[in-house]
Amino acid sequence: MNELTINLRPGSKTPLYEQIYDYIKKDIQGKKIQSGEKLPSTRSLSKYLEVSRSTVELAYEQLLSEGYVEAEPYRGYFVAQIEELYQLNQAAGSIQKKPVKEESRYKYDFTPNGVDLKSFPYHAWRKLSKDCLLDDKAEMFRLGEPQGEYGLRNAICNYLHQARGVNCLPEQIIVGAGNDYLLMLLTTVIGQNHKVALENPTYKQAYRLFKNLSYEVCTVNMDSRGMEINQLKETGADIAFVMPSHQYPLGIVMPIKRRLELLRWADEEELRYIIEDDYDSEFRYKGKPIPALQGYDSHDKVIYMGTFSKSIAPAIRMSYMVLPASLLSLYQERSGFLNSTVSKVDQLIVQKFIEEGYYERHLNKTRALYKSRHDVLLGCLKGIQDICTVSGENSGVHLLLHFREGLSEEELIKRAEARGIKVYGLTEHYVEPQKKRNATILLGYANMNEEQIKEAVSILKRAWRQKEI
């Protein structure tokens, strides 16, 4: 080959050598220039293109470094054997991109996982962020403590003791980017030789996680008091994953008798543990908050997990795990070398948020906000008490409607959807299918204001009472 027809654009922001490089690379990838074919010499190509020789040399050097061409002494540059590269490009081109997320077709969404972000204390958060970064502290940007910064762990420890009755020291707390990460970290501590039992229905994310981490997993049915202990014993499981203060999705609060039975079960074998997921215990509307199960544990059997995703914001991505003292040495040995997954800056902001009273004020405000919406929703639902009953209404940010007869979950959801309302069926939270039961719908109210709740429920009443669509 004596020349290459390249249309250079001297006034372009792209340097001339990059234009030459791009042109030749694309021709090689498209097989317009075949493997083994000789490229023009740098002298002849620079003369033909009317550019400096160094410009062509830069382009050839880039092609050479990426493996598109090979240089042979005293002979020049030749196109490399790149059939494999060509196939790779073809394969990469066949990967389908994820479709762009369509705008929601729902006017109202009763998601049980909602959080009201309009009430987020933006001003306080902005102030604390600014205060944390006022000084040029190089230490802020170094790797921190693997378990999380001591100041934050101490603040969490004090909060848990006062608000949740959790007995622990800062040394027992591990801060991580979400419960999923902390559960994966926990597996490195306790090892794989365990069978995990979860409630049925349950938080499916935890079930999938244990399953994908190659644990033997089973489910245990629930009665009105929580996980059935006799059935738990029959499974042969040695780890029980429970949500005693507010079970998701049923909203059951485990009474003290069942809690003690669960602790007794764990105490029967040395390596049995209970994982307590205390994901939204801050929101209770009747009576005092239910103390954590961990507070009743006197034999190091409960692994306690909490999160700021519900109480502050999901994007905070900050959760914490309280390990029993008996597991601390194992953690140090097997996982203590893993760096923290939460930035020191974010940790300091949350620490100050708790220590300076912003967190308590935010919780009080949010709790009152959700209580108001909770009351409005219950008031609106009185008009359909002849076709359904309500449960799980004393805490959390969702409740359940149990329909007596008639429409199936699928039909109830379909009728709501036809009118621009998103509701959720209980069936999707069951791991093991249940015998025939009446339809149950979950209604969350955290991200809907009072007027939206009134309007949406009014529409649902008409939709669900109507004999035909």
From 1.10.10.10, 1.10.1740.10, 3.90.1150.10, 3.40.50.10320, which CATH number describes the 16-94 domain?
Answer: 1.10.10.10
| Homologous superfamily in CATH for domain 108-114+361-465 | Aspartate Aminotransferase, domain 1 (3.90.1150.10)
| Tens-digit pLDDT profile for residues 2-44 | 467 788 888 888 898 998 999 998 888 888 888 889 999 989 9
> Per-residue b/e over 54-80, b at no fewer than 16 CB within 10 Å?
ebbebbbebbeeeebbeeeeeebbebb
Q: Does 103 have pLDDT greater than 70?
A: no
Residue 469: its pLDDT value, please?
A: 40
Residue 12: its pLDDT value, please?
A: 85
**Do the domains 108-114+361-465 and 121-356 sit in the same CATH topology, yes or no?**
no
Percent of the chain at pLDDT above 90?
65
Residue 123: in which H helix or E strand, if any?
A: helix 122-132
| Tens-digit pLDDT profile for residues 201-253 | 999 999 999 999 999 999 999 999 999 999 999 999 999 999 999 999 999 99
| Tens-digit pLDDT profile for residues 112-134 | 998 998 889 999 999 999 988 88
Q: Does 101 have pLDDT greater than 60?
A: no
Sheet of 302-307, strand order: 173-176, 319-322, 302-307, 273-277, 239-242, 195-200, 216-223, 226-227
Q: Average pLDDT for residues 53-78, to the nearest whole number?
A: 90
Closest listed residue to residue 388, CA positions, set 370, 418, 409, 416 = 409
Q: Does 104 have pLDDT greater than 90?
A: no
Q: Does 90 have pLDDT greater than 70?
A: no
The pLDDT confidence band at residue 433, using thresholds 50, 70 and 90, is confident
Q: Does 403 have pLDDT greater than 80?
A: yes
Predicted model pTM: 0.80
For residues 232 and 219, what is the distance between their CA atoms, to the nearest angstrom?
A: 8
> Cis before residue 289, ω within 30 degrees of 0?
no
Domain ranges of the chain: 16-94, 108-114+361-465, 121-356
The domain defined by 121-356 folds into: Aspartate Aminotransferase; domain 2 (3.40.640)
Q: What single letter denotes the amino acid at residue 340? A: S
Q: Does 136 have pLDDT greater than 50?
A: yes
Q: How far is CA 410 from the centre of its chain?
A: 27
Left if phi > 0, otherwise alpha if psi is -120 to 50, otherwise beta: which for 117? alpha
